[in-house]
Amino acid sequence: MMESFRKSDTVCRLGGDEFAVFVTDCQDVAAIERKVTALIQAYGEMTWSQCPAAQSTLSVGGVYGHTPRTFAELYQLADQVLYEIKKSQKGQLKLREI
């Protein structure tokens, strides 16, 4: 996952199977969408080829905007988006402008 983002971005494991990526100074949200969509597809292909019975998916929720916010605020908002995507359609990406 770390290889998919810039060295200036922060990639961390929150615990269990949850990770966070904090990207600053991003002017191209479509580039983030492409990178994350590629990660979702690669994860699906890997799990299907290595353990088809697992039926594991990768769901990603995120937020972006131009209003300064704390990391805690961004995390809470992104977590809400992630919860929505997990509830409605797993294995997808959902980004929300804030």
Per-residue pLDDT reduced to its tens digit, 14-49: 887 888 888 888 889 999 899 899 988 988 888 878
Looking at per-residue pLDDT, the higher value among 73 and 6 belongs to 73
Domain boundaries, the chain: 29-97
At residue 57's C-alpha, the angle toward residues 89 and 25, to 5°, is: 85
Q: What's this model's pTM, rounded to 2 decimal places?
A: 0.79
Mean pLDDT computed over every residue of the chain: 88
Are 66 and 75 contacting, i.e. CB atoms less than 8 angstroms apart? no
**Can you give the pLDDT at residue 17?**
80
**Integer CA distances (angstroms), 69 to 11, 75, 92, 98, in order:** 18, 10, 25, 10
Are 67 and 98 contacting, i.e. CB atoms less than 8 angstroms apart? yes
**Can you give the pLDDT at residue 23?**
87
**Can you give the pLDDT at residue 73?**
95
